[in-house]
């Protein structure tokens, strides 16, 4: 069984091998009407457990940080947006404590796109100040992309891929009868931030088409994600 930081006694903590602390980070926000508000931390929690189990001794799962930067969906009921300043300060303080406690590396498994830029800034700052290796992975975007492209035709926020992942992990929390298609998110060469356009894009809290999702493809995608994250951690620990 993987070691959970918050479940260890002080004596047990002092005796464990400290290779990598795995920190699940997400947010609480609207994911249409079919997915739970905690989707963005439920998936990282699951992945952290799988990654730690695969890595074995020396991998420790940290308590989850469930709140994040959810500006784009702050207009929808159920969303909790703590803003950049509070989020960055909190994550930075936690990661510095990981370093102080003697870990060689920390890995943040992020479940929410609004956190990404802040996490990379904090990770680099902590790594350079403490000497500890700090990694950040957006589970849906940074790993297993060939598998994602093969499996899903309508991915997105609460879309086909994310819905499939929750169906694989916690089907009891998914209401597929309430799933609705949302607009497609198109990448642009020059990004402009626009409050009204963002509200229009996330009017239902969905992009892509969750109606196409199923648990089998969710499990296949998550298996590939775990495999590539583990490979990345092992590579980092050898350097």
For 208, the token pair is 């892509």
- Whether 225 has a pLDDT exceeding 90, the answer reads yes
Residue 23, pLDDT score:
99
Choose between 192 and 68: higher pLDDT.
68
Give how far the C-alpha of residue 163 lies from the chain's centroid of Cα atoms, to the nearest Å. Answer: 14
pLDDT digit string (tens) for 36-78?
A: 999 999 999 999 999 999 999 999 999 999 999 999 999 999 9
* Beta strands 105-110 and 20-25, pairing class: parallel
Residue 8, pLDDT score:
98
- Whether 14 has a pLDDT exceeding 90, the answer reads yes
Percentage of the chain with pLDDT > 90? 90
Residue 1, pLDDT score:
82
Residue 136, pLDDT score:
98
pTM attached to this predicted model:
0.96
User: Please, what's the b/e burial string for 161-172 (b: 16 or more CB within 10 A of its CB; e: otherwise)?
Assistant: bbbbbbbbbbee
- Whether 21 has a pLDDT exceeding 80, the answer reads yes
Residue 198, pLDDT score:
87
pLDDT digit string (tens) for 102-114?
A: 999 999 999 999 9
Residue 188, pLDDT score:
73
C-alpha distances in angstroms, 122 versus 75, 77, 95, 107? Answer: 27, 29, 9, 12
**pLDDT-based confidence at 89, cuts 50/70/90?**
very high
CB hemisphere CA count around 184 (13 angstroms) = 5
Choose between 122 and 200: higher pLDDT.
122
| Average pLDDT rounded to a whole number, residues 195-202 | 88
- Whether 200 has a pLDDT exceeding 90, the answer reads no
Average the pLDDT over each of 32-36, 148-152, 184-188, 199-203 and give the range with the smallest value.
184-188
**Domains present along the chain, CATH in parentheses:** 3-238 (3.40.50.10310)
For 229, the token pair is 């994250």
pLDDT digit string (tens) for 203-224?
A: 899 999 999 999 999 999 999 9
| CA atoms of 77 and 12, how far apart (whole Å) | 42
- Whether 187 has a pLDDT exceeding 90, the answer reads no
- Whether 189 has a pLDDT exceeding 80, the answer reads no
Residue 191, pLDDT score:
81
């Amino acid at each position: 069984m993987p070691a959970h930081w918050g479940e260890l006694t002080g004596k047990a903590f002092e005796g464990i091998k400290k290779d990598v602390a795995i920190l699940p980070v997400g947010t609480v926000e609207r994911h249409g009407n079919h997915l739970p508000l905690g989707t963005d931390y439920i998936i990282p929690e699951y992945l952290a457990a799988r990654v730690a189990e695969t890595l074995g001794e020396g991998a420790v799962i940290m308590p989850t940080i469930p709140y994040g930067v959810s500006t784009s969906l702050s207009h929808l009921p159920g969303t909790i947006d703590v803003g950049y300043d509070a989020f960055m300060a909190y994550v930075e303080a936690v990661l510095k404590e990981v370093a102080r406690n003697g870990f060689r590396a920390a890995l943040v498994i992020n479940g929410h796109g609004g956190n990404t830029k802040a996490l990379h800034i904090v990770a680099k700052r902590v790594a350079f100040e403490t000497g500890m290796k700090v990694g950040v992975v957006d589970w849906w975007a940074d790993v297993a992309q060939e598998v994602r492209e093969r499996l899903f035709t309508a991915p997105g926020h609460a879309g086909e891929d994310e819905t499939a992942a929750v169906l694989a992990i916690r089907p009891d929390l998914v209401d597929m009868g309430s799933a609705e298609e949302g607009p497609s998110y198109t990448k642009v060469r020059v990004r402009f931030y626009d409050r009204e356009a963002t509200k229009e894009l996330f009017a239902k809290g969905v992009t892509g088409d969750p109606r196409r999702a199923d648990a089998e493809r969710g499990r296949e995608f998550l298996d590939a994600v775990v495999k590539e994250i583990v490979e990345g951690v092992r590579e980092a620990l050898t350097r």
